[in-house]
Amino acid sequence: MDRLTAPGLLPLELGEGPPPDPAVEPAGYVVASDDGHRIHFLDWGPARAAAAGRPQAADASPAADAVPGVLLLPGLASTAWSWAAVARRLSTSARVVAMDLRGHGLSDSPTEGYEPDTLAGDAIAVADGAGLLSLAGEPTGGPLVIAGIGYGAVVAAWTARALGGRCAGLVLVDGGWEDVAVATQATPEEWLASIEEPPEVLASMKAWLADRAAFDPATWDADEERAARAQVVETAAGRVKLAVHPHALAGSVRALWSYQPATVLAAVEAPIVALIARDEDESRTAALADIARLRAAAARPPIRVTAFPERGHNLARHEPSAVAAAVLAVATGTTMRP
């Protein structure tokens, strides 16, 4: 992938991420967005290292011992639980919050509000309500890093742009740099039809879980099962259907189709890390290189990138250690090093 060394695009070598904490359990909360709808999030609690009370030199500044804040945004039709494997790793060294996007999970599913500014406003309301931002809108302690996967990466990009200098870093997990209308050559309605779950997968909860486990048996565990269960509801007849309402799914996809990555990512002030999964024809890498060139022309920090050519889309499940390491690299500023 020669395009990984395009102008404004630099490779990021990721070391081993922190081990997971199997004992930590998140608490669930809701916060009101600007238009009054309730947005649900999971708070994985204060960083364990911070809670333990580390010794600090008398002349040390608060920033020197600040704990990073991390806001995690899930993909389309997924919930905050899809980030559990990453959150367990980050919770030892960062304050971690994962949200249910509007229309998803336990968040409200209004018929309106699926526009860039409103979706970004939801994420900012969660960051504020969780204490990652102060009432004045500034980070409360350490740097605020936003990470999203797929559709969540698009909402994360809109959020990072809205926050400006208040966002210390943006992590795009296999999404957020492509114009999906151009990439798919499909309308939102055509694409929605193409991703419908087969009837046999929705025949029962057992069939649904077996299908999700088969994606990557090596990473299937209690957290992944909980994430899979959160995606659907079981009917009285024993079948399952997606928990996201059709109008919310359609609104989210229309938002995705409206995304203009060249405009949005060129305006993001923060450093960006991109994690790219399987890309057989390198078209997705080429799109990322184009964005990196635009950012370079706008005097923005380079995009740091790591590729996972053997992995599928859900890198938060397939490579949680690497994703956690990428988030921490942004939070600690190591993405700026040559």
**Model pLDDT, residue 43:** 96
In this predicted model, what pLDDT tens digit does every residue of 24-53 receive, in sequence order?
999 999 999 999 999 999 999 876 444 333
Whole-structure pTM value: 0.92
Report the alpha-carbon distance of residue 179 to residue 131 in Å, rounded.
33
Question: How many Cβ atoms from other residues are within 10 Å of residue 103's Cβ?
Answer: 27
- Read off the amino acid at residue 2: D
Instruction: Label residues 158-173 b or e (16+ Cβ within 10 Å = b).
Output: bbbbbbeebbbbbbbb
Report the alpha-carbon distance of residue 121 to residue 108 in Å, rounded.
14
Element at 95 (helix H, strand E): strand 95-99
**Model pLDDT, residue 337:** 47
285, with CB counted inside 10 A (0-12, 13-18, 19+), is buried
CATH topology of domain 2-50+65-185+246-336: Rossmann fold (3.40.50)
One pLDDT digit (tens) per residue for the chain, 338 residues? 455 667 788 999 888 889 999 999 999 999 999 999 999 999 998 764 443 333 333 333 334 347 889 999 999 999 999 999 999 999 988 999 999 999 999 999 999 999 999 999 999 999 999 999 865 556 666 689 999 999 999 999 999 999 999 999 999 999 999 999 999 999 999 999 999 999 999 999 999 999 999 999 999 999 999 999 999 999 999 999 999 999 999 999 999 999 999 999 999 999 999 999 998 889 999 999 999 999 999 999 999 999 999 999 999 999 999 999 999 999 888 654 44
Nearest to 24 by CA among 87, 94, 110, 109: 87
Joined together, the tokens standing for residue 95 give: 């304050």
In this predicted model, what pLDDT tens digit does every residue of 1-25 receive, in sequence order?
455 667 788 999 888 889 999 999 9
**Model pLDDT, residue 291:** 96
Report the alpha-carbon distance of residue 178 to residue 154 in Å, rounded.
9
Q: Is 245 left (phi over 0), alpha (psi -120 to 50) or beta?
A: beta
**Model pLDDT, residue 136:** 55
DSSP string for 259-309: --HHHHHHH--S-EEEEE---TTSHHHHHHHHHHHHHHHTTPPPEEEEE-T
Question: How many Cβ atoms from other residues are within 10 Å of residue 5's Cβ?
Answer: 11
**Model pLDDT, residue 338:** 43
- Quick check: 250 and 188 in contact, CB under 8 A? yes
